Amino acid sequence: QACTYPCQCPSQALQCPAGTSHVLDACGCCKVCARQLGELCSLQKPCDHHKGLYCDFSKIHRGSGICLAHEGATCDLLGKIYHNGESFQPTCKLQCICMDGAIGCIPLCSDDLRLPSPECPNPRRVKFRNKCCEEWVCEEGSEEKRFETAMAVFREDPAQKPELNNLQENCLVQTTEWSACSKTCGMGISARVTNDNPQCRLEKETRLCMVRPCDFPMEKTKKGKKCVRTPKPRQSLHFEFSGCTSTRSYRPRFCGSCTDGRCCTPYVTSTAEVEFRCPEGDFFQRKMMFIKMCSCHYDCPRDNDIFLATYHRRMTGDHV
Protein backbone atom coordinates (compact mmCIF):
# COMPACT_ATOMS: atom_id res chain seq x y z
CA GLN A 1 0.00 0.00 0.00
CA ALA A 2 2.93 2.33 0.61
CA CYS A 3 4.35 1.63 -2.86
CA THR A 4 4.03 4.20 -5.63
CA TYR A 5 4.74 3.55 -9.30
CA PRO A 6 6.64 4.49 -11.36
CA CYS A 7 9.46 4.03 -8.86
CA GLN A 8 11.11 7.12 -7.44
CA CYS A 9 14.53 6.39 -5.96
CA PRO A 10 17.16 8.81 -4.56
CA SER A 11 19.54 10.13 -7.21
CA GLN A 12 22.56 9.85 -4.91
CA ALA A 13 24.65 6.66 -5.02
CA LEU A 14 23.88 4.28 -2.17
CA GLN A 15 26.62 4.27 0.49
CA CYS A 16 26.56 1.29 2.86
CA PRO A 17 29.07 0.18 5.53
CA ALA A 18 31.64 -2.44 4.52
CA GLY A 19 30.13 -5.92 4.39
CA THR A 20 26.54 -4.66 4.12
CA SER A 21 24.51 -5.85 1.14
CA HIS A 22 22.43 -3.72 -1.22
CA VAL A 23 18.91 -5.21 -1.34
CA LEU A 24 15.60 -4.20 -2.93
CA ASP A 25 12.83 -2.77 -0.78
CA ALA A 26 9.43 -4.48 -0.50
CA CYS A 27 8.14 -2.54 -3.53
CA GLY A 28 10.93 -3.97 -5.68
CA CYS A 29 11.89 -0.41 -6.56
CA CYS A 30 14.96 0.95 -4.81
CA LYS A 31 18.17 -0.50 -3.43
CA VAL A 32 18.59 0.06 0.32
CA CYS A 33 21.26 -0.88 2.86
CA ALA A 34 20.24 -4.22 4.37
CA ARG A 35 19.53 -4.23 8.11
CA GLN A 36 21.91 -6.29 10.23
CA LEU A 37 21.48 -8.67 13.18
CA GLY A 38 19.61 -6.98 16.08
CA GLU A 39 18.66 -3.87 14.08
CA LEU A 40 15.10 -2.62 13.55
CA CYS A 41 13.54 -3.64 10.24
CA SER A 42 10.37 -3.24 8.16
CA LEU A 43 9.11 -4.03 4.65
CA GLN A 44 10.86 -0.93 3.36
CA LYS A 45 14.00 -1.68 5.42
CA PRO A 46 14.54 -5.43 4.94
CA CYS A 47 17.09 -7.60 6.74
CA ASP A 48 20.19 -8.97 5.04
CA HIS A 49 18.86 -12.26 3.65
CA HIS A 50 22.32 -13.03 2.21
CA LYS A 51 23.44 -13.61 5.79
CA GLY A 52 20.44 -15.73 6.74
CA LEU A 53 18.62 -12.91 8.56
CA TYR A 54 14.86 -12.35 8.63
CA CYS A 55 12.57 -9.67 10.09
CA ASP A 56 10.71 -10.91 13.17
CA PHE A 57 7.52 -8.83 13.61
CA SER A 58 6.31 -10.67 16.72
CA LYS A 59 8.36 -8.70 19.25
CA ILE A 60 7.74 -5.10 18.08
CA HIS A 61 4.42 -3.61 16.94
CA ARG A 62 3.36 -0.91 14.44
CA GLY A 63 4.84 -2.55 11.36
CA SER A 64 8.37 -2.77 12.71
CA GLY A 65 10.41 -5.82 13.59
CA ILE A 66 13.89 -6.87 14.59
CA CYS A 67 16.45 -8.73 12.48
CA LEU A 68 17.09 -12.25 13.74
CA ALA A 69 19.17 -15.10 12.32
CA HIS A 70 17.83 -18.46 11.23
CA GLU A 71 19.09 -21.34 13.33
CA GLY A 72 22.68 -22.22 12.43
CA ALA A 73 26.03 -23.24 13.85
CA THR A 74 28.04 -20.70 15.85
CA CYS A 75 31.64 -19.74 15.02
CA ASP A 76 34.70 -19.95 17.26
CA LEU A 77 37.54 -17.55 16.47
CA LEU A 78 40.48 -17.36 18.88
CA GLY A 79 38.29 -18.62 21.71
CA LYS A 80 35.45 -16.14 21.16
CA ILE A 81 32.02 -17.44 20.11
CA TYR A 82 29.97 -15.61 17.45
CA HIS A 83 26.33 -16.35 16.61
CA ASN A 84 25.09 -17.28 13.15
CA GLY A 85 24.55 -14.07 11.13
CA GLU A 86 26.64 -11.94 13.48
CA SER A 87 29.06 -9.38 12.00
CA PHE A 88 32.26 -8.54 13.89
CA GLN A 89 35.71 -7.00 13.52
CA PRO A 90 38.51 -9.20 14.92
CA THR A 91 40.94 -6.40 14.00
CA CYS A 92 40.47 -2.89 12.62
CA LYS A 93 41.63 -4.19 9.23
CA LEU A 94 38.95 -6.91 8.81
CA GLN A 95 35.14 -7.01 8.72
CA CYS A 96 33.90 -10.58 9.26
CA ILE A 97 30.62 -12.49 9.50
CA CYS A 98 29.65 -15.86 10.93
CA MET A 99 27.60 -17.96 8.50
CA ASP A 100 26.45 -21.31 9.86
CA GLY A 101 29.84 -22.20 11.35
CA ALA A 102 31.97 -20.61 8.60
CA ILE A 103 33.70 -17.24 8.90
CA GLY A 104 34.04 -14.93 5.89
CA CYS A 105 36.04 -11.69 6.00
CA ILE A 106 36.65 -8.69 3.76
CA PRO A 107 39.65 -6.31 4.13
CA LEU A 108 38.95 -2.74 5.23
CA CYS A 109 42.40 -1.48 4.17
CA SER A 110 43.49 -1.28 0.55
CA ASP A 111 46.59 -3.26 -0.43
CA ASP A 112 47.45 -1.04 -3.40
CA LEU A 113 51.06 -0.71 -4.52
CA ARG A 114 52.93 2.31 -5.87
CA LEU A 115 55.78 2.52 -8.32
CA PRO A 116 58.31 5.40 -8.22
CA SER A 117 57.24 8.25 -10.49
CA PRO A 118 58.40 11.83 -11.08
CA GLU A 119 55.73 13.14 -8.67
CA CYS A 120 56.51 10.50 -6.04
CA PRO A 121 60.11 9.26 -6.40
CA ASN A 122 60.29 7.45 -3.05
CA PRO A 123 56.86 6.08 -2.09
CA ARG A 124 56.65 4.58 1.39
CA ARG A 125 53.78 3.19 3.48
CA VAL A 126 53.57 4.78 6.92
CA LYS A 127 51.50 3.87 9.99
CA PHE A 128 50.00 7.05 11.43
CA ARG A 129 48.94 7.38 15.03
CA ASN A 130 45.19 6.89 15.65
CA LYS A 131 44.79 5.43 12.12
CA CYS A 132 44.35 1.73 11.46
CA CYS A 133 45.42 1.56 7.80
CA GLU A 134 48.85 2.51 6.54
CA GLU A 135 49.01 5.40 4.06
CA TRP A 136 51.38 6.30 1.24
CA VAL A 137 53.80 9.21 1.72
CA CYS A 138 56.17 10.62 -0.90
CA GLU A 139 59.62 11.39 0.47
CA GLU A 140 61.58 14.19 -1.14
CA GLY A 141 65.19 13.56 -2.15
CA SER A 142 67.90 15.37 -4.01
CA GLU A 143 66.97 16.45 -7.54
CA GLU A 144 69.52 14.08 -9.06
CA LYS A 145 68.39 11.06 -7.01
CA ARG A 146 64.74 11.96 -7.67
CA PHE A 147 65.27 11.81 -11.44
CA GLU A 148 67.29 8.55 -11.28
CA THR A 149 64.64 6.79 -9.20
CA ALA A 150 61.81 7.93 -11.46
CA MET A 151 63.73 6.91 -14.60
CA ALA A 152 63.80 3.29 -13.37
CA VAL A 153 60.35 2.81 -14.88
CA PHE A 154 60.58 5.11 -17.88
CA ARG A 155 62.14 4.55 -21.30
CA GLU A 156 65.50 6.18 -21.81
CA ASP A 157 65.24 8.31 -24.93
CA PRO A 158 68.18 10.74 -25.42
CA ALA A 159 66.24 12.69 -28.06
CA GLN A 160 63.22 13.32 -25.85
CA LYS A 161 63.14 13.35 -22.07
CA PRO A 162 59.93 12.11 -20.40
CA GLU A 163 57.42 14.86 -19.70
CA LEU A 164 55.25 14.85 -16.61
CA ASN A 165 52.05 15.26 -18.64
CA ASN A 166 52.89 12.37 -20.97
CA LEU A 167 53.56 9.56 -18.50
CA GLN A 168 51.90 6.72 -20.40
CA GLU A 169 53.86 7.29 -23.62
CA ASN A 170 57.19 7.07 -21.78
CA CYS A 171 56.13 4.43 -19.27
CA LEU A 172 58.14 1.20 -19.31
CA VAL A 173 55.33 -1.30 -18.76
CA GLN A 174 56.09 -3.92 -16.10
CA THR A 175 53.63 -6.73 -15.38
CA THR A 176 53.99 -9.82 -13.21
CA GLU A 177 52.61 -13.26 -14.06
CA TRP A 178 49.09 -14.09 -12.88
CA SER A 179 49.10 -15.86 -9.51
CA ALA A 180 47.70 -19.37 -9.08
CA CYS A 181 43.91 -19.56 -8.71
CA SER A 182 42.82 -19.24 -5.07
CA LYS A 183 40.57 -22.31 -5.42
CA THR A 184 41.50 -25.79 -6.68
CA CYS A 185 37.85 -26.19 -7.75
CA GLY A 186 34.98 -23.77 -8.20
CA MET A 187 35.23 -20.02 -8.72
CA GLY A 188 38.36 -18.34 -7.33
CA ILE A 189 40.54 -15.24 -7.75
CA SER A 190 43.87 -14.77 -9.53
CA ALA A 191 45.97 -11.59 -9.22
CA ARG A 192 48.92 -9.80 -10.78
CA VAL A 193 50.70 -6.45 -10.44
CA THR A 194 51.06 -4.06 -13.38
CA ASN A 195 51.76 -0.41 -14.15
CA ASP A 196 49.98 -0.51 -17.53
CA ASN A 197 47.73 2.48 -16.77
CA PRO A 198 47.66 6.23 -17.57
CA GLN A 199 49.44 7.08 -14.28
CA CYS A 200 52.21 4.45 -14.84
CA ARG A 201 51.47 3.39 -11.27
CA LEU A 202 52.02 -0.13 -9.96
CA GLU A 203 48.57 -1.53 -9.11
CA LYS A 204 47.05 -4.88 -8.21
CA GLU A 205 44.74 -6.38 -10.85
CA THR A 206 42.44 -9.38 -10.30
CA ARG A 207 40.50 -11.80 -12.48
CA LEU A 208 38.08 -14.63 -11.79
CA CYS A 209 39.34 -18.16 -12.40
CA MET A 210 38.01 -21.71 -12.39
CA VAL A 211 40.51 -24.55 -12.71
CA ARG A 212 37.65 -27.09 -12.66
CA PRO A 213 34.09 -27.25 -11.27
CA CYS A 214 33.89 -28.99 -7.90
CA ASP A 215 31.42 -31.54 -9.34
CA PHE A 216 33.30 -31.99 -12.64
CA PRO A 217 33.50 -35.71 -13.61
CA MET A 218 37.08 -36.74 -14.29
CA GLU A 219 37.57 -38.59 -17.57
CA LYS A 220 39.62 -41.77 -17.66
CA THR A 221 43.14 -41.30 -18.90
CA LYS A 222 44.15 -43.05 -22.08
CA LYS A 223 46.66 -45.88 -21.89
CA GLY A 224 50.22 -44.57 -21.67
CA LYS A 225 49.15 -41.02 -20.70
CA LYS A 226 49.54 -39.59 -17.21
CA CYS A 227 47.24 -36.58 -17.43
CA VAL A 228 43.85 -35.55 -18.80
CA ARG A 229 45.02 -32.02 -19.46
CA THR A 230 42.20 -29.92 -20.89
CA PRO A 231 38.82 -31.68 -20.78
CA LYS A 232 35.84 -29.68 -22.07
CA PRO A 233 32.30 -29.95 -20.70
CA ARG A 234 29.91 -31.76 -23.05
CA GLN A 235 27.38 -28.95 -22.76
CA SER A 236 27.85 -25.19 -22.54
CA LEU A 237 27.49 -23.69 -19.06
CA HIS A 238 26.83 -20.37 -17.33
CA PHE A 239 29.39 -19.13 -14.80
CA GLU A 240 28.12 -18.24 -11.32
CA PHE A 241 29.82 -15.65 -9.12
CA SER A 242 28.43 -14.63 -5.71
CA GLY A 243 24.87 -15.53 -6.70
CA CYS A 244 25.06 -13.78 -10.09
CA THR A 245 25.06 -15.62 -13.44
CA SER A 246 26.94 -14.91 -16.68
CA THR A 247 24.65 -13.47 -19.38
CA ARG A 248 25.98 -15.87 -22.02
CA SER A 249 27.02 -19.51 -21.92
CA TYR A 250 30.55 -20.86 -22.44
CA ARG A 251 32.35 -24.12 -23.16
CA PRO A 252 35.63 -23.50 -21.30
CA ARG A 253 38.52 -25.92 -20.97
CA PHE A 254 39.25 -27.27 -17.48
CA CYS A 255 42.28 -28.99 -15.98
CA GLY A 256 41.88 -32.72 -15.36
CA SER A 257 43.91 -34.93 -13.02
CA CYS A 258 47.29 -36.65 -13.03
CA THR A 259 47.63 -40.39 -12.40
CA ASP A 260 51.05 -40.18 -10.71
CA GLY A 261 50.16 -37.91 -7.76
CA ARG A 262 51.14 -34.63 -9.41
CA CYS A 263 48.86 -31.57 -9.65
CA CYS A 264 47.20 -30.59 -12.92
CA THR A 265 47.02 -26.78 -13.16
CA PRO A 266 46.69 -24.14 -15.93
CA TYR A 267 49.87 -23.61 -17.96
CA VAL A 268 48.71 -21.30 -20.79
CA THR A 269 45.72 -18.99 -20.20
CA SER A 270 43.98 -15.96 -21.68
CA THR A 271 41.84 -13.25 -20.06
CA ALA A 272 38.46 -11.99 -21.28
CA GLU A 273 35.61 -9.86 -19.94
CA VAL A 274 32.53 -11.76 -18.73
CA GLU A 275 29.21 -10.00 -18.01
CA PHE A 276 27.13 -11.16 -15.02
CA ARG A 277 23.47 -10.55 -14.20
CA CYS A 278 22.28 -10.60 -10.57
CA PRO A 279 18.86 -11.62 -9.21
CA GLU A 280 18.14 -7.98 -8.32
CA GLY A 281 18.59 -7.03 -12.00
CA ASP A 282 22.06 -5.46 -11.80
CA PHE A 283 24.76 -6.11 -14.42
CA PHE A 284 28.52 -5.97 -13.94
CA GLN A 285 31.62 -7.15 -15.79
CA ARG A 286 34.66 -9.03 -14.46
CA LYS A 287 37.86 -10.20 -16.10
CA MET A 288 38.06 -14.01 -16.17
CA MET A 289 40.74 -16.58 -16.91
CA PHE A 290 40.20 -19.01 -19.79
CA ILE A 291 42.44 -22.09 -19.92
CA LYS A 292 44.26 -23.03 -23.13
CA MET A 293 46.60 -25.70 -21.78
CA CYS A 294 47.26 -27.49 -18.46
CA SER A 295 50.34 -29.28 -17.15
CA CYS A 296 51.27 -31.78 -14.42
CA HIS A 297 53.82 -30.80 -11.74
CA TYR A 298 54.70 -31.38 -8.08
CA ASP A 299 54.41 -27.72 -6.96
CA CYS A 300 50.84 -28.16 -5.75
CA PRO A 301 48.98 -24.98 -4.68
CA ARG A 302 47.64 -24.88 -1.15
CA ASP A 303 43.98 -24.09 -0.53
CA ASN A 304 43.84 -20.39 0.47
CA ASP A 305 40.08 -19.94 0.64
CA ILE A 306 38.98 -16.66 2.26
CA PHE A 307 36.84 -18.62 4.70
CA LEU A 308 38.77 -19.62 7.81
CA ALA A 309 36.65 -22.74 8.41
CA THR A 310 37.14 -26.09 6.69
CA TYR A 311 34.08 -25.62 4.52
CA HIS A 312 32.21 -22.69 2.97
CA ARG A 313 28.68 -21.72 2.09
CA ARG A 314 27.55 -19.87 -1.02
CA MET A 315 26.23 -16.35 -0.32
CA THR A 316 23.27 -16.39 -2.69
CA GLY A 317 22.57 -12.99 -4.26
CA ASP A 318 25.60 -11.32 -2.67
CA HIS A 319 27.60 -9.33 -5.21
CA VAL A 320 30.01 -6.45 -5.40
- Give the pLDDT confidence score for residue 270 in this predicted structure: 92
Domain end call among 107, 124, 159: 107
The residue-averaged pLDDT of 198-225 equals 74
Q: Residue 315 pLDDT > 70, yes or no?
A: no
92 and 190 in a common domain: no
Q: Is residue 281 part of a domain?
A: yes
The residue-averaged pLDDT of 15-39 equals 83
Kindly give the pairing relationship between strand 87-88 and strand 94-99.
Answer: antiparallel
Q: Is residue 173 part of a domain?
A: no
Q: Residue 288 pLDDT > 90, yes or no?
A: yes
Say how many domains are in the chain: 3
208 and 126 in a common domain: no
Q: Is residue 94 part of a domain?
A: yes
116 and 195 in a common domain: no
The CATH number that applies at residue 252 is 2.10.90
pLDDT, greater one: 52 or 157: 52
| Residues 238-257 as b or e (16 or more Cβ within 10 Å = b) | ebebbbbebeeeeebbbbbb
Q: Is residue 82 part of a domain?
A: yes
79 and 131 in a common domain: no
**Rounded to whole angstroms, how far apart are CA atoms 272 and 252?**
12
- For 264-284, what is each residue's pLDDT tens digit? 888 889 999 999 988 777 788
**Rounded to whole angstroms, how far apart are CA atoms 167 and 148?**
16
Q: Is residue 60 part of a domain?
A: no
If we measure between CA atoms, which residue out of 242, 183, 179, 245 comes closest to residue 216? Answer: 183
- For 100-156, what is each residue's pLDDT tens digit? 787 878 888 877 767 666 677 778 888 888 888 888 888 775 555 545 544 445 444
- For 53-85, what is each residue's pLDDT tens digit? 888 887 766 778 888 887 777 888 888 888 887
Q: Residue 207 pLDDT > 90, yes or no?
A: yes
134 and 94 in a common domain: no
- Name the residue range of residue 89's domain: 75-107
232 and 134 in a common domain: no
- Give the pLDDT confidence score for residue 231 in this predicted structure: 67
- For 169-193, what is each residue's pLDDT tens digit? 677 788 888 888 888 888 889 988 8
134 and 80 in a common domain: no
